[in-house]
Amino acid sequence: MTKCEVARVLRISLNTLNTWCSRNPRQLPPFIKLGSAKNSVIRFRKRDVINFIDK
C-alpha cells in the first residue's frame, strides 16, 4: 500500500505519516523502503496494516 492509502486507512494526514516514518516508525505498521536515498519510496503490506489496526 502507498503512504497515501495507509494515511487514509489510519485516518491521519499524509504529513503526519511522513513525519512518523522518519522520526518514530514504531508508531506505524512495518514498512519497506525501496532504496537508500532520503526520498525513496515507502510501501506497506496490506496484511501488516490490517494487523496493526486490529491491535
User: To the nearest whole percent, how much of the chain has pLDDT over 70?
Assistant: 100
Residue whose C-alpha cell is 513525519: 19
CB 8 within 8 A of CB 53: no
Using a cut of 0.85, tell me whether the model's pTM lies above it.
Answer: yes
Rounded distance between C-alpha atoms, residue 38 and residue 25, angstroms: 15
Burial of 37 (0-12, 13-18, 19+ CB in 10 A): exposed
Domain of residue 39: give its range. 3-54
The mean pLDDT value for 31-54 works out to 95
Rounded distance between C-alpha atoms, residue 33 and residue 53, angstroms: 21
**Number of domains the chain contains:** 1
